[in-house]
């Protein structure tokens, strides 16, 4: 059974809309006056000269995490592509030469035009192989093929762009913890 919600009765001044129009204009002119008299109070950025400050936890373009030997951490378990509601992740697996790892991705592609940037792939990954913390939120291209990101583009990142507290990023080649992680990796104790 449907529930009836009573509508509030409008007063005479609300019914003729003039008072509401003038209230809206007063708000607009107030914002314009404040911006013109004090430009520093404006929240508008002079883009692209001034880039917005994007927080670290913002879900931006994806990246694949690297092992100390520069191979992807991905073990091609297909959990990210299974969890993806847009079905934009395409993985082709191959056998890994490392006997500790069963398989690795021969091909790993994400179609950014289909992606809804929900972050389910990051949550589903059991080995922290995919992240969305690149701060690359502005995506532009000339054709559709520019938006299909392959394994090489996903692994094209520098540990210097990430904070020292991000231990996994610093264990990648070029990171501050790379030498120690490479020793662990060669000894077989790296996870």
- pLDDT tens by residue, 78-100: 999 999 999 999 999 999 988 88
H or E element that contains 91 = strand 89-95
Residues 79 and 137 in one domain: yes
Please classify residue 9 by burial: count the beta carbons closer than 10 Å to its beta carbon, then call 0-12 exposed, 13-18 middle and 19+ buried. Answer: exposed
Phi, psi (deg, nearest 5) at residue 113 = -75, -25
pLDDT at 52: 85
Residue 180 inside a domain? The answer is yes
Residue 2 domain flag? no
Mean pLDDT of 118-123: 96
* Cβ proximity of 73 and 67 under 8 Å: yes
Q: How many domains does the chain have?
A: 2
| Better-scored residue on pLDDT, 99 or 117 | 117
Domain assignment of residue 8, yes or no: no
Q: What is residue 25's predicted lDDT score, i.e. its pLDDT?
A: 96
Q: Is the pLDDT of residue 191 over 70?
A: no
Q: Are residues 162 and 72 in the same domain?
A: yes
Distance from C-alpha of 106 to C-alpha of 89, rounded to nearest angstrom: 13
> Is residue 84 located within the same domain as residue 133?
yes
Backbone dihedral region for residue 187 (phi beyond 0: left; psi -120 to 50: alpha; all else: beta): alpha
Both 68 and 153 in one domain: the answer is yes
Domain match, 29 and 72 both: no
**Domain span at 21:** 13-44
Looking at the fold, whether 91 and 180 belong to one and the same domain comes out as yes
More confident residue, 47 or 123: 123
Give yes or no: residues 81 and 159 share one domain. Answer: yes
Examine the domain organization and report whether 28 and 119 are in the same domain: no
Q: Are residues 68 and 31 part of one domain?
A: no
The pLDDT value given to residue 63: 95
Residue 35 reports pLDDT greater than 90: no
Q: What percent of the chain has pLDDT over 70?
A: 99
Q: How far is the C-alpha of 76 from the C-alpha of 63, rounded, in Å?
A: 15
Mean of pLDDT values over 108-123: 96
**Domain annotation covers residue 190:** no
Percent of the chain with pLDDT over 90: 62
Whether residues 109 and 19 share a domain: the answer is no
């Amino acid at each position: 059974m449907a529930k009836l919600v009573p509508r509030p009765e409008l007063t005479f001044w609300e019914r003729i809309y003039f008072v509401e129009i003038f209230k809206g204009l007063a708000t607009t002119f107030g914002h314009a006056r404040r911006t013109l008299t004090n430009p520093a109070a404006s929240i508008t950025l002079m883009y692209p000269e001034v880039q917005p400050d994007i927080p670290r936890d913002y879900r931006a373009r994806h990246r694949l995490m690297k092992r100390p030997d520069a191979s992807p951490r991905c073990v091609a378990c297909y959990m990210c592509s299974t969890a993806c509601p847009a079905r934009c992740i395409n993985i082709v697996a191959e056998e890994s030469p490392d006997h500790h790892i069963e398989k690795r991705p021969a091909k790993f592609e994400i179609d950014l035009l289909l992606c809804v940037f929900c972050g389910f792939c990051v949550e589903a990954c059991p080995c922290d192989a995919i992240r969305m913390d690149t701060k690359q939120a502005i995506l532009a291209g000339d054709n559709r093929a520019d938006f299909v990101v392959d394994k090489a583009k996903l692994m094209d990142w520098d540990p210097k762009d990430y904070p020292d507290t991000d231990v996994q990023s610093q264990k990648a080649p070029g990171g501050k913890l790379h030498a120690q992680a490479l020793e662990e990796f060669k000894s077989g104790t790296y996870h």
